[in-house]
Amino acid sequence: MILHGYYRSTASWRVRIVLGLKGIAVEQRAHHLRRGEQRLPAFLALNPQGLLPVLELDDDNVLTQSLAIAEYLDELQPEPPLLPKEPIARAHIRAIAQLIACDIHPIQNLRVLARLKTLGHDEAEVQRWAADTIREGLDACEVLLGRYAGPWCLGDRPTLADAVLIPQLANARRFGAEGDWPRLSEIAAQAATHPAFLAADAGAQPDAE
């Protein structure tokens, strides 16, 4: 398998965490987002959206969208599970993952930020808007996760929710978004001791700048 990604892409980062949790080895190919390599014809042939990550399977199937890839990998390699069997717990985990992946993360997409600039917003306004959106989303995430026992998002082992949360916390730091998030900090401290999360970290990638 080949994972097409970028070291600082939080969506790619999620998949790297999942691969690490599952113990699945892949070849990694980097596509520099700020240089527009995701818009080159060769990449668009894989994903016409021009978005990362892409997982290219050995049978030439191509998977896109990080959450879909994560669930495919969970079905391919069921242990350790990213989602529990109990339906309510599965729904809670998916809700946290989607809160971040669907409601917070898209606001920091380079295409969205560039569009704001073409509409006349200066860099400071764009950064502030992104930070405010991250802060509001993580404030809600803090409340929701406060309902569940740790040390991970929902229980005593990492799930899909943790794989999505940890990269977003890094993005929060990058955009200067801060808040009173003791529960999120507890989860981040747990992840900082786990090999799969350490290996997936943006700074540990070959293409890191």
**Gap between the Cα atoms of 202 and 209, Å rounded:** 9
Residue 110 or 60, more confident: 60
pLDDT digits (tens, 9 = 90+) for 145-160: 999 988 999 999 999 9
Spatial distance between the Cα atoms of 25 and 20, rounded to a whole number of angstroms: 8
Residue 17: CB atoms within 10 A of its CB come to 28
- 98 or 108, which is more confident: 98
Question: Which DSSP category does 152 fall into?
Answer: B
The answer to whether 188 and 46 have CB atoms below 8 angstroms apart is: no
Query: What is the three-class DSSP state of 10?
Result: helix
The predicted model gives 37-59 an average pLDDT of 96
Residues 6 or more apart in contact with residue 105 via CB below 8 angstroms:
10, 11, 168, 171
Q: Which of 172, 161, 110 is nearest to 137 (CA)?
A: 172
pLDDT of residue 203: 96
- Locate 129 and state its tokens: 């808007």
The pLDDT confidence band at residue 115, using thresholds 50, 70 and 90, is confident
pLDDT value at 124 more than 90: no
Stated pTM of the model? 0.94
